[in-house]
C-alpha cells in the first residue's frame, strides 16, 4: 500500500507510477472518501507500506507527518516501510525526521529515496519556479529514476538513496520555524484578473478555498486558515490571479502534473 500527499502533482505522479511498477495501490491521504477502519485493516494486511510526499523546508510535508501520527500504535511493526520524497533540489534531513514518525508507529524505514522534480515553491521573496530548461531536464530523468527505485522496492532492499544537499543539519534546523510560520493564510488573495472559474478551490488538497460572491456579486475565492502551503492554488490559476502578498506577481507558474480534478 502506498500513501501519498501532493500539492502540485509531482508526488502524486511518482506515487501512481510506482504503484504501476510494483503493482500496488496508491492512496491519497487527503481523499475525502477514506474510511479510517478499512484503511487500518488494509495496512494490517499489507506486507509493504510506502509513503510518497514532497519536501517542505528540508523536512517532510506536515500533512504526511500528521497522517502517520493518526495511525494506531505499532501498526507498522514488521512491515517493509519505505519513503520517496520529491524535492526541487535537496532534502536536508527529511528522512531522519520522517523515520522518527515511522518509529513511533513501531516501524523502521528500510528504504529511503528522493526524486528531484520541478520546484513549486513561491512563498518567500527570492524563490520561484525553475527556468524551463531546468524543468525539462529534471522531468527527463524521472522515468529512469522511478524504474530504479521500483527495482529496489521489489527486491526489498535496505537503502538510503537521497539528495541531502550541503549543510543538511543547518538547513533542516529551520523546519520547526516553517511549521510555525511557513505560511500566513491571510496573504492569499485574488486580483481583478480572476475569471471566477473555481479551479483554485477545486485543486486545493485541503478544501481550504471557497468560492463566494464579492461586493459586486462576482464569484471569487476566499481562503480559510487551513492552508498546507502547497502553492497549488497559485500555480493552477489560468489568469495568474492568485497571489501571495505582493512579490508573487513576478513569479511564473508550474503546471506540469497539476490537475484541477
Decide whether 199 or 229 has the Cβ nearer to ligand FMN: 229
Range 51-110, binding ligand FMN (CB under 6 A): 54-58, 86-90
Task: Write out the three cell numbers for 65.
Answer: 507527518
7 is a contact residue toward ligand SF4 (CB under 6 A) = yes
3 is a contact residue toward ligand FMN (CB under 6 A) = no
Range 142-201, binding ligand SF4 (CB under 6 A): 188, 190, 194-200
252 is a contact residue toward ligand SF4 (CB under 6 A) = no
Rounded CA separation 111/95 (Å): 10
Task: Write out the three cell numbers for 22.
Answer: 510494483
What letter does residue 123 receive in the DSSP assignment?
S
6 is a contact residue toward ligand SF4 (CB under 6 A) = no
Q: How far apart are the first and last CA of the chain?
A: 23
* CA angle 241–247–250, rounded 5-degree value: 65
Radius of gyration of the chain from its Cα atoms, rounded to whole angstroms: 18
User: Among ligand SF4, ligand FMN, none, what does residue 233 contact (CB within 5–8 Å per kind)?
Assistant: ligand SF4
State which of residues 119, 190, 248, 253 lies at the interface with ligand FMN (CB under 6 A): 119
The Cα-based distances of 97 to 27, 58, 113, 125, 210 in angstroms read 22, 10, 14, 27, 33
Task: Write out the three cell numbers for 63.
Answer: 500533512
Check residue 214 and give left, alpha or beta (phi > 0: left; psi -120 to 50: alpha).
beta
User: Among ligand SF4, ligand FMN, none, what does residue 199 contact (CB within 5–8 Å per kind)?
Assistant: ligand SF4
User: Among ligand FMN, ligand SF4, none, what does residue 114 contact (CB within 5–8 Å per kind)?
Assistant: none
Q: Count other C-beta atoms under 10 Å from residue 237's C-beta.
A: 23
User: Among ligand FMN, ligand SF4, none, what does residue 196 contact (CB within 5–8 Å per kind)?
Assistant: ligand SF4
User: Among ligand FMN, ligand SF4, none, what does residue 228 contact (CB within 5–8 Å per kind)?
Assistant: ligand SF4
63 is a contact residue toward ligand SF4 (CB under 6 A) = no
User: Which spans of this chain sit near ligand SF4 (rule: CB under 6 A)?
Assistant: 7, 188, 190, 194-200, 203-206, 208-209, 221, 223, 227-233, 236-239, 241-242
Amino acid at each position: 500500500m502506498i500513501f501519498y500527499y501532493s500539492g502540485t502533482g509531482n508526488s502524486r505522479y511518482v506515487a501512481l507510477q510506482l504503484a504501476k511498477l510494483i503493482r500496488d495501490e496508491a492512496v491519497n491521504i487527503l481523499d475525502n472518501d477514506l474510511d479510517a477502519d478499512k484503511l487500518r485493516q488494509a495496512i494490517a494486511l499489507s506486507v509493504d507500506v510506502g509513503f510518497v510526499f514532497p519536501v517542505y523546508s528540508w523536512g517532510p510535508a506536515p500533512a504526511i507527518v500528521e497522517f502517520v501520527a493518526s495511525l494506531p500504535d505499532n501498526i507498522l511493526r514488521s512491515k517493509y516501510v519505505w519513503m520517496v520524497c520529491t524535492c526541487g533540489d535537496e532534502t536536508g534531513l527529511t528522512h531522519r525526521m520522517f523515520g522518527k514518525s515511522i518509529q513511533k508507529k513501531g516501524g523502521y524505514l528500510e528504504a529511503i529515496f528522493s526524486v528531484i522534480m520541478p520546484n513549486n515553491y513561491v512563498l518567500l521573496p527570492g524563490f520561484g519556479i525553475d527556468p524551463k530548461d531546468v524543468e525539462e531536464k529534471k522531468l527527463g530523468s524521472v522515468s529512469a529514476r522511478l524504474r530504479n527505485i521500483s527495482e529496489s522496492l521489489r527486491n526489498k532492499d535496505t537503502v538510503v538513496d537521497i539528495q541531502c544537499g550541503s549543510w543538511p543539519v543547518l538547513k533542516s534546523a529551520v523546519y520547526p520555524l516553517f511549521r510555525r510560520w511557513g505560511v500566513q493564510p491571510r496573504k492569499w488573495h485574488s486580483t481583478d484578473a480572476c475569471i471566477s472559474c473555481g479551479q483554485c478551490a477545486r485543486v486545493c488538497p485541503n478544501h481550504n478555498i471557497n468560492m463566494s460572491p464579492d461586493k459586486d456579486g462576482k464569484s471569487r475565492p476566499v481562503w480559510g486558515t487551513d492552508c498546507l502551503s502547497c502553492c497549488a492554488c497559485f500555480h493552477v490559476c489560468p489568469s495568474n490571479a492568485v497571489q501571495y502578498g505582493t512579490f508573487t506577481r513576478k513569479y511564473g507558474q508550474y503546471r506540469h502534473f497539476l490537475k484541477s480534478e
